[in-house]
Every structure is written in C-alpha cells, then in structure tokens.
Structure 1
Amino acid sequence: MRLKASGYLAQGGQIIDATVIAALRQHLTDEEKVLIKEGKAAEEIWPDESAKASQKDIDARWTMKRGSLKRSETGEARAAVPAQIMVPMFGYKNNAGIDRTFGFIRKWVVTHAARHDSGAFEDVLDTESIARSVWADPAYRSAKNETAIRRARLRSMIHFRKAKGKPMDQRRQRANAARSKVRSAVEHVFATQKSQMARLCARSASSAPG
C-alpha cells in the first residue's frame, strides 16, 4: 500500500462499501450482445473495425439500483419517508475499503455493475490492518465474508440482516443504528469521487475484473 510505504498507518478500522458508476449506454445488435455475453474481446467482435472496437464498452453491465422518488413526485407532500423505487443503471461498480478515521482509501477495485457487492469483499479487505473492526452494510453479511474476517483475525461490525417475515429484535436494531453512524463515512468518499472527480474517467477494451 502506498500510504504504508510513505509512512502513514491508517489505524481507525475499515469501512467497506460499493457504488455504481454510470457509463454511456451501448447501441448494439442482438448478435453483438450474444458475443459479449460469451466473453468475446472487442477485437473478435469487430475484427475489421479497429476504431469501432476501441470505442465500444463491452465490460459494463446493467443492474438495478435502489432510489427514492421526491415527495412532490409521490403526491404525498407530508410523507415522512419518500417512496422507494428500483432504477436500472448501466455501468461499473466502484468497490472500496476506507480508513474509518481519515477516509483514506485502503483498497479499491472496479467490477461490472451487475456483480453483487459482497463478491469483491475479500479484494478490498485489508487483512494487515492494525485496527481490527470491519464495518459494512447487510449486503456483505455472509458465511464466506465472516470467515474471511475471522481468518484475518479481525472483528466483524457488519450490519445484521432481518430474518425474512420476522421483525428484527431490538438489540440488533440498536447495534445496526450504532454501526450506521460509523459506516456512513464511506458515502463522503463516494460523493467526492462523483462530484469533484466527475470528469475523471477511464476507457478500456480489455475485460474488467468481476
């Protein structure tokens, strides 16, 4: 890690999360879509059109992202909570692990947007962290990820999941509320990337991880 090599030790525990980054939608034929799903490289799909191949994004994928309607759109101006909707998005997923105290990005990896958040958990988990706590939202709670945390001798602070069809007990509700106050710090990192770095982008015709 560059921070460690430069003499900086992030010691505030780590927060792991992911956010979707939108990409330009591609205009493809049904045949081209099939070839992309088969894992063909751009040069194989457009062998006689090198300029076209270099411009086509074959790595991004569609996913559904949870969003909220504005209260004015719901017709319920006094509604306490805006209506939740699922919004289709095409692009990539920015997976990051940050230091709790300073917001430094410890580890970072990009996958296509359709990959589940928890799929990149071990890629961004800092197993050499001095501080033991690891925060993440409920999407990351799985037997595999909990095992990875224990193997690294770290402590899981991942949110508890609510059992299907059953209310969550108050003890876990309180634990999740306390964890949310810590975990929310990662949103500031993503907000900075999407606002101040909005014009920063990278394009590649090679396969993206995940």
Structure 2
Amino acid sequence: MQQKDLDARWTKKNGISYYGYKNSICIDVDHGFIRRYAVTPANIHDSQLLPRLLDPENEHDFVWADSAYSGECFEDLLSLGGFESLIHEKGARNHPLSDKAKELNRVKSSIRACVEHVFGCMTMSMGGKLTRKIGLERNDAWWGLKNLTFNFLRYLQRSSHIATVA
C-alpha cells in the first residue's frame, strides 16, 4: 500500500523540479558546527526562515547570507535583534552592482562557503541528502539526527586536528 506525503511540496530551482523538504541551517563560522536548523517543505522560500535560524547566543553577531535575504525588512529584523548584516547585495534591472559591491560579495562568499561545505559533507560522506520519510515531523527528526551526526563528525575532526597541532 502506498502512502502519500501530505506535507511535502514541489519547487523549481534553476529549471529543475524538486519534491520534498529542505534543511536550512545556521552554522558557527569559527568552528563549523550547526547551531540551528529548520526543516520545511521544499516550496517555502529560504528568506522566510531567517527569524528561526538567527541565534542570539552565537558569539558573533554577523549574519552572512545570499541575496535572497536582501531587503529593508531583513535589515530591520537584523538590527532589531542586534545582528550586523553582511548579506549579499543584489543588482536590479538597469541598476547593476558596482565593482565595489561585486568585490564585497566575493569576500562574503568566502565566508558563506562554510555552509555549502556542510551540505557537501552530507552529500559525499554521509549518504546524501535524500530522505524517504513521510511527513514533516519524521523528516524533521531525520534531519535533526543527520545534523547532530555532522556535528559529532566535525567535533572529531577538530579534536584530532587540535591534538596533532599540540
């Protein structure tokens, strides 16, 4: 008997359709640990998750994010929460980014790449990102365990690196 997942949704990114769920994360830029995460159906835009991912207990109050999070409402939210925005600037039709803004975006991308490394590790070393769970609650639990496992592996990696340096 087949079951239908009533929580999962379709989305399209770069012309490719995806079905299921999305794991959005907040990481510690210094150590690479996942501090917060949110699992949502795939059709929920990343920008809607920003309030859930902000961590007031984080040592740094900088927020690096792509241009999907740009806009006055996000800037207001971040300043209200005591965060400093390092969100990518976005060009618009007939208003391209200046060379200075492009350079700043390149610098910000080097920090943001840390988040992509987490997903790369999950894809290459932890069996991928595909889940066959049905329902948001089960997928949330599955991603929570996967994120926790990543943090354990990251801890082992960092502690073995520290031991070899010392």
TM-score normalised by length of structure 1 = 0.60
- The 5 Å alignment of 1:32-181 reads 52=2, 55-66=3-14, 86-181=15-110
- SS at 2:118's partner residue? helix
Which amino acid letter does the alignment assign opposite residue 164 of structure 1? R
Residue identity over aligned pairs, in percent, reads: 36
Task: Give the structure 2 partner of residue 191 of structure 1.
Answer: 120
Structure 2 contact 122–128 (Cα < 8 Å) conserved: no
| Structure 2 unpaired stretches of 5+ | 141-166
Structure 1 vs Structure 2 CA RMSD: 2.1
Task: Give the Å deviation of 1:199.
Answer: 6.3
Give a deviation string over 1:63-100, Cα, whole Å, max 9, x none: 1122xxxxxxxxxxxxxxxxxxx211111111100111
- SS at 1:184's partner residue? helix
Q: Which has the larger radius of gyration?
A: 1
| Structure 1 unpaired stretches of 5+ | 1-50, 67-85
Give a deviation string over 1:144-181, Cα, whole Å, max 9, x none: 22222111211100000102222211111111111011
Structure 1 contact 97–107 (Cα < 8 Å) conserved: yes
Task: Give the Å deviation of 1:62.
Answer: 0.9
Structure 1 contact 159–176 (Cα < 8 Å) conserved: yes
The structure with the largest helix share of the pair is: 2
Task: Give the Å deviation of 1:119.
Answer: 0.7
TM-score normalised by length of structure 2 = 0.74
Structure 1 contact 138–159 (Cα < 8 Å) conserved: yes
In 2, the alpha carbon distance for the partners of 1:182 and 1:146 equals 19
Structure 2 contact 41–136 (Cα < 8 Å) conserved: no
In 2, the alpha carbon distance for the partners of 1:113 and 1:127 equals 26
Structure 1 contact 63–90 (Cα < 8 Å) conserved: yes
- SS at 2:51's partner residue? helix
Structure 1 contact 122–145 (Cα < 8 Å) conserved: no
